[in-house]
Amino acid sequence: MKRVIVDYAKLTTDILDLLVERYPDGYDYGDIISFKNANGDTIKAVEVRTEDTVYLVKISSRLEQTMEDYAEDESSFDDVDFNEDIDETLADDLDI
C-alpha cells in the first residue's frame, strides 16, 4: 500500500471528499497522528484511505476551514486546480 503525505496547499478535491466523508463533524485529538519527518520536525496529520493509498494530511487551521467550506459548498471548489504538482512524499521514508 502506498503512503502519501499531503500538505494543505496540495489537496485534491478527491482527498477533500475523503476527509469530509471520514470526519463530517471535524476531527478530534484521537484522530491525530504525530510523527517525525526525515528532518526531525514533528508532523501532525489525519489519515484517510483509498483501496491502494493511505493519505496523511498535514493539519493546519487552514485545513479545518477548507474542510468546513468544502462541506458547505462543494461547487465552489470546481474551478480550483488542486492537482498542480502534487508532492507525494512517501511516509515509508519517515521515522514513524
Instruction: Kindly report the average pLDDT of the chain as a whole number.
Output: 76
- Could you tell me the pTM of the whole model? 0.62
Ramachandran class of 24: left when φ > 0, alpha when ψ lies in -120 to 50, beta otherwise: alpha
C-alpha cell at 13: 478535491
Q: In what order do the strands lie in the sheet with 42-49?
A: 33-36, 42-49, 53-58, 2-6, 89-90
- Of residues 78 and 46, more confidence is placed in 46
pLDDT for the residue numbered 83? 44
CB 83, CB 9: distance < 8 Å = no
CA distance 58 to 45: 4
**Cβ neighbour number for residue 56 with a 10 Å cutoff:** 21
Least confident of 2-6, 26-30, 48-52, 79-83: 79-83
Amino acid making up residue 35: F
When pLDDT is cut at 50, 70 and 90, the band that residue 61 belongs to is low
